Amino acid sequence: PTGQPQQPLSKTLPRPPSSSVSIGSGPGSWQQLRTCASQRIQCRLVELDRTEPPLRSETPPASSLPLPRPRSRPSLTLANLLLEAPGGGRSGAMGLFDRLPPMDHLRSEKMCLVQLIFPAESARLAVTYLGELGLLQFKDLNEDKSPFQRIFVNQVKRCAEMNRKLKFFSDQINKAGVKSSVRPALQPEIDLEELEAKLGEHEHELLEMNTNSGTLRQTYNELLEFKLVLSKAGSILAASQNHATPADHELDEHIYDKEVDDGNGYLLEQGIHQGASESGVRFVSGIILKSKALAFERMLFRTTRGNMFFNEASAGEPVMDPSSGEEVEKTVFVVFFSGEQAKAKILRICASFGANCYPVPEEIVKQRQIFREVSSRLSDLEVTLDAGTQHRNKALESVGSQLWRWILMVKKEKAVYDTLNMLNFDVTKKCLVGEGWCPIFAKSQIEDVLQRATLHSNSQVGIIFHEMDTIDSPPTYFRTDKFTNAFQEIVDAYGVGRYEEINPAVYSVITFPFLFAVMFGDWGHGICLLLGALFLILREKKLSSQKLDSFTEMAFGGRYVILLMALFSIYCGLIYNEFFSVPFHIFGKSAYACRENSCSDAYTAGLVKVRDPYPFGVDPSWRGSRSELPFLNSLKMKMSILMGVSQMNLGILLSYFDAKFHKNALDIRYQFIPQLIFLNSLFGYLSLLILIKWCTGSKADLYHVMIYMFLDPAGDLGENQLFWGQKELQVL
């Protein structure tokens, strides 16, 4: 009450506790005075330091405490002008402004720099809660330190190692093609230490299964190659045995005595019959890549100086390579030679060319016996591999059902420790000191979160949170919701506005989908888009809790953008009268008809107007007419010009209000005014000509008018003159 004497503020207001916002500490700060008048609590700010700029506040009523007059004049907005008007109280126009809702989305939120002092035992939990709130941006107070010199570097390394293991599990699940369902209700909550131990066990088990499976798979592929070599090489050896005819044997018996000198027979025939004889012919069989077979044969020929015989047979189908595990084209070969030195050279060449050599006996009976043994081992390995694959898939399914939750948990913990590394550690007081930016409206929410973190961590000391004075430029923060978030991301993709700048996303909510509909005007396609958008919106709770692929995630994030695009597409499609490019008589009959019943001149002399214009949109009779293309192209092109010029003028006008808000006269004089003049002198004048031509039905050539406005401004316009004084206006 005004009748009571005024007391010092230090006696009337209690001192705030250490865990709350300290408003009245330090020079140039403000004390909060609460007075109750007319059953309504109104906040008043009293200036304690005349050197600080005054806060914008309403003019107090005559019954309140007198406030000192600030030195600097506030910005001349309409509200301030009304405040300074004679007899201006809280009635009339001022009351109207008070009842208007706050324009939270028009400009970025007002920010303030705050300082937080965390006790060591509650720092991690407090940062976790602040991250979930998402209304505080910390400053890096350790910019001069490398990542390895920070306090929580070991915790960050542990999180990075767990992230590597989770990436390994994800790759294995994708490689195996295992599909797992997310069941968060059946999964118990675990902490970081338990998760780290569990991930280590799963990784060790999976690596062991991969090693055993790889060894078995390699053995299986080698046996497959061995079986193929036995089949192909056996055919080659059988053909070689039948190479000598009965006449040749008769010739050998008459000329050579085998009991005296067995080394004088044919080279190939000696290798077949004598086998293990040191002076006889030997062979090496194996399999090699088909692309290397020719070079392999040439190398063998040059190395043995022609003392060898090379025979090959195609495998016929792709073979799984044991070393790489890929399907490749291969060729089975058999090399006949004589001597130990030639054998050593051939084996070294086989190793250098990556050829796999397998022993094949000469006797057909042994070949069949080994073939049966190899087939039996392949059957056993198939059963073992199938059982191992099933066991591995079950293990991957159990991991995959919890993988997405684990990934989020590890990312969250890593983000928490990365944030803690941005804080200063006070060794003496055992606390962490941090600074950050937050919106002014979020200060109370941050206080509640910090108090909750103190209680949940059982800390004896509360977290200190207070505002700081600064001259640094605050970051830009726009409040969004699930409807405006997608539009804000589209605008931010081109650039983020400066602090307290007008937010273009507010206008893009309408302009972006509408300009899309101007290009995509078809109400049939619009209905398809509308059904897809409604499906995403109606199932948004279920889809938001699932892991989506990249395309579905992008469509789900822009579901409300798609909804507006669909609605505007239906609207523009009705104007264009196009349903999958087919016109319909929706709003009545056409205004045009043929002159005769036979309609012979519909495509030559045109139609005749017989009734009032079509009520809404383009008349269906334009479809298929002789002048359809010139009419529709001219309509859409000129309409696009008008809309584009209107949108550019809107942007220029917004730059004026933004410059006026920031009191930047240079931008108004040397940016806003030139842009407005140049734009409207060219494209604005063109838009005016389009509107006049539409209203008057003139046949003037607008291309000719715009070109000769620069080439011959004072020339005669002739039939291109649309209004009186057009030439003088063009000269101006």
- DSSP sequence for 557-580: HTHHHHHHHHHHHHHHHHHHT-BT
Whether residue 216 is contained in a domain is answered as: no
DSSP conformational letter for 463: P
Domain end among 99, 118, 149:
99
Number of folded domains that form the chain? 4
Residue 9: pLDDT band with limits 50, 70, 90:
very low
Whether residue 235 is contained in a domain is answered as: no
Q: What percent of the chain has pLDDT over 90?
A: 29
Q: Does the pLDDT at position 48 exceed 70?
A: no
Among 61-75, 84-98, 542-556, 633-647, which stretch is predicted with the lowest mean pLDDT? 61-75
Domain around 472: 103-138+423-479
pLDDT at 105: 62
Taking phi first (over 0 means left), then psi (-120 to 50 degrees means alpha), and beta for anything else, what does residue 305 get?
Answer: left
Residue 442: pLDDT band with limits 50, 70, 90:
very high
Q: Does the pLDDT at position 284 exceed 50?
A: yes
pLDDT at 455: 93
Listed ranges 108-122, 626-640, 706-720; the one with the highest mean pLDDT: 108-122
Identify whether residues 356 and 267 lie together within a single domain: yes
At a CB cut-off of 8 Å and minimum separation 6, what does 431 contact? 117, 118, 119, 120, 123, 425
pLDDT at 320: 83
pLDDT at 596: 65
Question: Residue 446 belongs to what H/E stretch?
Answer: helix 443-456
Identify whether residues 512 and 578 lie together within a single domain: yes
Identify whether residues 448 and 513 lie together within a single domain: no
Average pLDDT over residues 324-341: 85
Q: What is the CB-side half-sphere exposure of residue 371 using CA atoms within 13 A?
A: 14
- Using DSSP's 3-state secondary structure scheme, residue 13 falls into coil
pLDDT at 99: 56
Mean of all residue pLDDT scores within the chain:
77
Whether residue 331 is contained in a domain is answered as: yes
Q: Amino acid identity of 174? A: N
Identify whether residues 259 and 298 lie together within a single domain: yes
Sign of CA dihedral 491, 494, 497, 502: negative
pLDDT at 642: 92
Identify whether residues 249 and 361 lie together within a single domain: yes
Q: Does the pLDDT at position 677 exceed 50?
A: yes
Identify whether residues 514 and 572 lie together within a single domain: yes
pLDDT at 511: 92
Whether residue 547 is contained in a domain is answered as: yes
Whether residue 609 is contained in a domain is answered as: no
Q: Does the pLDDT at position 37 exceed 50?
A: no
Identify whether residues 328 and 253 lie together within a single domain: yes
What is each CA distance from 402 to 55, 106, 208, in whole angstroms?
52, 42, 21
- Angle at alpha carbon of residue 518, lines to 517 and 524, rounded to 5°: 50
Q: Which tens digits make up the pLDDT trace of 134-165? A: 999 999 999 888 888 898 999 999 999 999 99
Q: Are 78 and 88 in contact (CB under 8 A)?
A: no
pLDDT at 318: 83
- In the numeric block, which tokens belong to residue 535? 């499906």
Identify whether residues 91 and 117 lie together within a single domain: no
pLDDT at 661: 85
pLDDT at 46: 31
Average pLDDT over residues 418-437: 88
Q: Does the pLDDT at position 563 exceed 90?
A: yes
Q: Which tens digits make up the pLDDT trace of 445-462? A: 999 999 999 999 998 888
Identify whether residues 474 and 489 lie together within a single domain: no
Higher pLDDT, 187 or 114: 114
Whether residue 327 is contained in a domain is answered as: yes
Q: Which tens digits make up the pLDDT trace of 333-346? A: 888 888 888 888 89
Whether residue 292 is contained in a domain is answered as: yes
pLDDT at 428: 74
Residue 89: pLDDT band with limits 50, 70, 90:
very low
Domain end among 72, 99, 126:
99
C-alpha 655/C-alpha 672 separation (Å) is 7
Domain end among 582, 603, 624:
582
Identify whether residues 109 and 52 lie together within a single domain: no
Identify whether residues 493 and 578 lie together within a single domain: yes
Q: Does the pLDDT at position 668 exceed 70?
A: yes
Identify whether residues 354 and 433 lie together within a single domain: no
The CATH number covering residue 439 comes to 3.30.70.120
Q: What predicted TM-score, i.e. pTM, was given to this entire model?
A: 0.64
Whether residue 351 is contained in a domain is answered as: yes
